[in-house]
């Protein structure tokens, strides 16, 4: 992680000065991953909040920065909605961009769609998901996705570093497809597990058993 360095008048506190500071942060995945068991098995409920993504002409989303007050506002708005669990942000034209810390995918008629790359963080897990889909022979399109498209999707999921990929089975209070993790998602999570040599969902179940005893 690259920090911008301290401001000049904090020189007595920030000994590194005003030059950029590089730090390495390590977090155990026990609670991150262990809390995901139900999401892997039943899926998440995604909502479009009033808060939109910040246009790339203001802050380039390809730079992973921590100044993300708009993410927090979106999460707070979703938290007020009954049974909603995650936010899907849109750009100023109404197209879905990303979640608050994750990338969005949907599938329709055997093909995968994800947001165009100009207004999203081009996450490593996003690229991994696209690579695995290509290996499986599943077409992947970077496209403008409207909320209307998600309502008619066969399945949906999101990707992030800590969870790899997890299903979205409800969208704006309606089921996505059959309201269950779909076949393309299942193929992708299995391929990912095989590639890294870890049963990703099984690991989450194991971590869930440790959560109450875990002391950081």
Task: Give Cα separations from 15 to 25, 32, 41, 161, 174 (angstroms).
Answer: 19, 33, 48, 32, 53
pLDDT in tens, the chain (216 residues): 545 555 555 566 666 666 777 777 787 888 888 889 999 999 999 999 988 887 777 776 777 666 677 788 888 888 887 666 899 999 999 999 999 889 999 999 999 999 998 888 888 999 999 999 999 999 999 999 999 999 999 999 999 988 999 999 999 999 999 999 999 999 999 999 999 999 999 999 999 999 888 766
Q: What is the DSSP string of 98-129?
A: EESSSEEEEEETTEEEEE-GGGS---HHHHHH
Specify the CATH number of the domain 28-210: 3.20.10.10
- Predicted TM-score (pTM) of this structure: 0.85
Query: Tokens in use for 133?
Result: 């889909």
Supply the Cα-derived Rg of the chain in whole angstroms: 19
Of 163, 165, 161, the closest CA to residue 185 belongs to 165
Q: How many CB atoms lie within 10 A of CB 130?
A: 19
Domain ranges of the chain: 28-210
Residue 112 has phi, psi (to 5 degrees) of -105, 140
């Amino acid at each position: 992680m690259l920090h911008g360095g301290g401001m000049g008048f904090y020189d007595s506190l920030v000994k590194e000065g005003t030059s950029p500071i590089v730090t390495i942060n390590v977090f155990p995945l026990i609670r991150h991953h262990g809390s995901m068991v139900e999401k892997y098995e039943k899926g998440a409920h995604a909502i479009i909040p009033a808060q939109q993504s910040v246009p790339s002409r203001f802050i380039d989303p390809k730079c992973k920065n921590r100044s993300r007050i708009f993410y927090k506002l979106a999460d707070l708005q979703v938290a007020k909605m009954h049974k909603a669990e995650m936010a899907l942000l849109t750009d100023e034209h109404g197209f879905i961009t990303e979640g608050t810390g994750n990338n969005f995918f949907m599938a329709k008629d055997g093909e995968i769609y994800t947001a165009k790359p100009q207004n999203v963080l081009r996450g490593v897990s996003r690229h991994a998901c696209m690579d695995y889909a290509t290996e499986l022979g599943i077409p992947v399109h970077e496209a403008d996705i409207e909320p209307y498209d998600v309502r008619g999707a066969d399945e949906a999921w999101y990707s992030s570093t800590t969870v790899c990929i997890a299903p979205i089975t409800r969208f704006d209070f309606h089921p996505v497809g059959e309201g269950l993790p779909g076949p393309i998602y299942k193929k992708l999570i299995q391929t990912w597990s095989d590639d890294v040599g870890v049963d990703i969902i099984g690991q989450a179940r194991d971590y869930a058993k440790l959560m109450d005893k875990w002391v950081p």
